[in-house]
Structure 1
């Protein structure tokens, strides 16, 4: 009898350990860090498999230090006679809503919606960093956003926003030779010298740098301001350029745009800011895209999710 009981206990312990291992593995596979690594790994394989190594030279996980001491990390850089291609990878599922000039895009999985930074704006900062560090002419820098995973675009996307291996076709669509082989070798050497060493210590330092920037205290809003004014701090608008709009060209050649850009999504002015009727906290202005991708604005309690009061934006009284 004791032997049978010991065998049953051994089987139970084996199932407990197996279940714990499966749960741990599932947690790792669902973590943002693993998803990001997996997406970058897939893009790296596509570039190595489909691009001719005699003409295209791929560099991955490039960390650069800027003049102000901050760091930026680029997923992939492709150096070629046709220019420098800067790739930003997004490994996501579900439906993707967004446009070139929206500040935030939306991921929708059934009824769950999550806002994330417009990857075109994120990659534009990478391009500006490369231009600052390497002094590469902006007209020879090309932005490429690659979505991996089982995601589907539900709004029209610019040509430089690609799905899966389409990123290779977009790179190969640039056929105008702008650099000689000697110049390509010089840009490769300059990138190798300027990038920080690709180690775990470099990655951890970059993550801490990003956290420090996001943890920096925001400027206090003076009393008497409306709730909508507390959403974002004022941003200085750059002087207009006679040749083009003040907004950057995120997918086309940005040669005529060299100064920092202003916010790309004009937000409507607050109409009826007030205190939350449930808890008395401030109301903040928010928006979500509808099924057609148009922004729908509403007011939400600043203590969300502790207070779930929401109110649709009221029409302006004439």
Structure 2
């Protein structure tokens, strides 16, 4: 019995020693990367942070891209209203400036180009949990707007907008009308960037790349107080803009079609909300038959493709 105990203790010791060596080796390799030299983020903190890990994995996917490329991370560019806009990953390349908005999310992602708030749906038993985040397309447009202001001395710059999601998530019914905007899972980014670079060709010289890098680098060294204030402002923008406040009544063809189907004379803002499952408008309807006849409920206008419904008081029906 004592021998078995000693053997188990030896195996456990070997396991933890081996794990420690692996972590130490990975940490030493990590400290040689350009990501660490710019962000100064410790290895274990990077692994524990979903956002930082997504940025690092984006960098790992792109660091061997062909041509002359330099990277910056977490740039906090000032805006007119004393707030900031944060660029997750920026690559200055021969073919222009690539702006990457990184969303290291799992689950199902719903959203449209014109919605201010998108939805992440995570399975939880037979139900799902809905989380909301700002539209990454709009975020990147804002990033590029301020980049153009700070880089006005470089009129030849071509800007490329990329929205990257984790390989663990599924992008559901996301429409983009702008042919230049790219939204994808992270594993496709290197191939897409190479294709864009071949299409555009050389627009920046090595001297211009260095000059832009030196100009923007200070914005990647923001103090923690500024970062905390930025996160606070982002949360304040998300909370009051849950999807049910994002629909416009007038001119929305889906709402008008749903109105005609229900025979309603008019539809007000109180009669409309957004389906958390597919992002389409939901209308407040009245059950006409069955044991629930006369009761109010929210029904998705995407029926029969989307069958999501809620009771009038907001509780999901079984």
Compute the TM-score of the two structures, normalised by the length of structure 1.
0.57
Cα distance between partner residues in 1 of 2:172 and 2:217: 39
Match of 2:282 in 1: 297
- Alpha-carbon contact 1:58-1:77 (below 8 Å) kept: yes
- Displacement of 1:60 after TM fit? 0.8
Match of 1:190 in 2: 215
What CA deviation, in whole Å up to 9, does each residue of 1:170-193 have, x standing for no partner?
222122111222222222222125
SS in 2 for 1:178: coil
**2:104 is equivalent to residue 91 of structure 1:** yes
* SS of corresponding position for 1:173: helix
Give me the whole-angstrom Cα distance separating, in 1, the residues matched to 2:135 and 2:142: 11
- The root-mean-square deviation of aligned C-alpha atoms, in Å, is 3.9
Q: Secondary structure at the match of 2:148?
A: helix
Contact 1:131 1:138 (C-alpha < 8 Å) held by counterparts: no
CA distance in 2, matches of 1:105, 1:63: 23
The separation in 2 between residues aligned to 1:200 and 1:142, in whole angstroms, is: 28
Gaps of at least 5 residues in structure 1 are 1-28, 219-229, 235-264, 275-282, 301-308
Which of the two has greater helix per residue?
Answer: 2
Residues 1:155 and 2:179 aligned together: no
Question: Secondary structure of the equivalent of 2:81?
Answer: coil
Change in 2 beyond 3 A, CA 1:67/1:107: closer
The equivalent position to 1:51 in structure 2, one of 58, 61, 65, is 65
Please say if residues 275 and 300 of structure 2, whose CA atoms lie closer than 8 Å, have aligned partners that are also in contact: no
Deviations 1:70-111 (A, max 9, x none): 211110110011010000111111222334344443323334
- With over 3 angstroms needed to count, the CA separation of the structure-2 counterparts of 1:102 and 1:208, relative to structure 1, is closer
Take 1:148 and 1:187, find their aligned partners in 2: how far apart are those partners? 29
TM-score (norm 2): 0.57
Per-residue CA deviations over 1:232-261 (Å, capped at 9, x if unaligned) read: 699xxxxxxxxxxxxxxxxxxxxxxxxxxx
Is the contact between residue 105 and residue 165 of structure 2 (CA under 8 Å) also seen in structure 1? yes
Where does 1:1-318 land on structure 2 (aligned, <5 Å)?
Answer: 34-48=49-63, 50-52=64-66, 55-110=68-123, 111-112=127-128, 113-135=130-152, 137=155, 140-155=158-173, 160-174=182-196, 175=198, 176-193=201-218, 195=219, 197-210=221-234, 231=245, 268=255, 271-273=266-268, 283=270, 285-288=272-275, 293=278, 295-299=280-284, 311-312=297-298
Counterpart contact for 2:113–2:137, Cα < 8 Å: yes
**Alpha-carbon distance change, 117 to 151 in structure 1, aligned in 2, over 3 angstroms:** same
